[in-house]
Structure 1
Amino acid sequence: MRVLVVEDHEELAETVAAGLRREGMAVDVALDGHAALERATVNGYDVVVLDRDLPGLHGDRVCRVLAEGGSRARVLMLTASGTVAERVAGLGMGADDYLPKPFAFTELVARVRALGRRAQPALPPVLVRGDLRLDPARRTATRGGRGLPLSPKEFAVLELLMAAGGAVVSAEELLERAWDEAADPFTRTVKVTVSRLRRKLGDPPLIETVAQAGYRV
C-alpha cells in the first residue's frame, strides 16, 4: 500500500511515516499542501493522511483539489479539533474518514488499512491461491500450513500479486506501490525481491514471470 503523510510538524510526520513503514506500507512525506499536491500528481497513492490545519495551502483546499481532480486516493483527515461540526465540514470537502488529534497509533493504522481496501476493488479479508494464504490484517502468510517469514517488502509484493487475481502486475507497478519515492526506478530491487520471495514460497513455483510484462501468481 502506498501512503502519503501530509503534516507540517516534521517530527510528527516522520514518526507517523516510520510507524506505517513498520506496518509494511510504502510512505512518502509532504510538509505542506503544495508539496502534497505535487506528489499526488506524480505518484498513485492509495491513502493520503492529511493534516487539516496546514499553513499556506490549507488541508481543506488540498482535500478538495484531490477530490475534484478524480484522485483514487482515499483521504484520512487529521485535526486538533474533534467537534461534530469540524468532522462534518471535513467530510464535506471530500475526506473519506476523520481522526481527531491526539490519536492512538493503532487506530490510525486500522483506519489507513480500511481506507486502503476501499481504494481497490473489493477483496476478501484473506487472500487464497491454492495452498497459499495471506492475511493482510494480521500480516501473516502461510503455504500448506507452514508460516512464511517474509520481510515487509516481500509481503507487500506478494499481497499485490495475489490481489491481482491472476492478472499480470508489471515491475513498474510493484515498484510504485510497494516502495516510496526514494526508490531508484532503474534498480533491480523488484527482481531481487521477487527472487527472494520465490525461494521462501518453495516448490512447486507459484510466481510466474511473463516476458516483457511482469509477474503473476
Structure 2
Amino acid sequence: MAERRLTKWRRALALAGAVLLSLGLSPYLLRQLEFFRVRRVEISGLHYLEASRIVAALKLSRTASVFDDPDPLERRIRALPGVMEADVGRRVPGTLSLTLREAAPVALAPAGGRLALVDSAGAVLPFDPLESAPDLPVLIGGGASVAGALSRARDYDPSLFARIDAAWRVGPDVVFEVGGRRLWFGAELTAEDIRAVTAVEQALARQGRSFEELDGRFTGQVIVRRSRA
C-alpha cells in the first residue's frame, strides 16, 4: 500500500511538471523552482569508470536544477580520462539522465609492474582491470601497431578476437596466439586477411589436421606450418 501511494505521488509530481512546461514558462523561471531541483542522477553506458567519479565531475550544487544548461555538465564529463562522449538529459521533476560512451579497451598490457587496459592506440586507460575483469588478450609487445591490429580484429571478426590469448609484434608483422597456435598477419591486416586465415583454420579442423601456425601475410594464400617458424 505504501509503495502504491509513493508511485501515485511520483506520477503526480511528473504530471505537475508537465503542466508547468505546457504553460510555456522559460527555463530561467523553471530553474528557480525548488520543485525541479536535481534529486537523482541516472547513468547509462558505464562499464569501467566508477559512478561516483562521474557524479563528482558534474559538480552539482545544492540548488542544481534539471533545467540548468547541460553543456557545462557534458564538458566536465567529457574531460574525464576514458570518456569519449557524454550526453545529459532530464526527466522531470528531478532526475538527470547521463548517457556515456567510454573508450573501449582492446587488450591488457604490462605497465608499471601491473597489467593495465589499453585502447586501440596502445594508450593506457584509467580503468582498473581488477574491477571490471575484462576478458581481453594480453598485449606482450608492439604498442600501437599491435593494439590497432587487435582493434581491427575485434571489428572484423568478434569471434576470432574473443579467442585471442596474446598478441605481439615480430618485425613489422603481428602475431596472435589462439589456443596455443599462432596466426601471423601483416601490421595492416584487413577483413579479407582474417577471413582467409579463419577459413583455412576451419577447413583444417574439419579434416582433423593439426598445425602450429597459419601465416596470412601473403596476398592470395595462407601458409600452413606444422611447426613454429
TM-score, normalised via structure 2 length? 0.23
Q: Which has the higher strand share?
A: 2
TM-score, normalised via structure 1 length? 0.24
Structure of greater relative contact order (alpha carbons < 8 Å, 6+ residues apart): 1
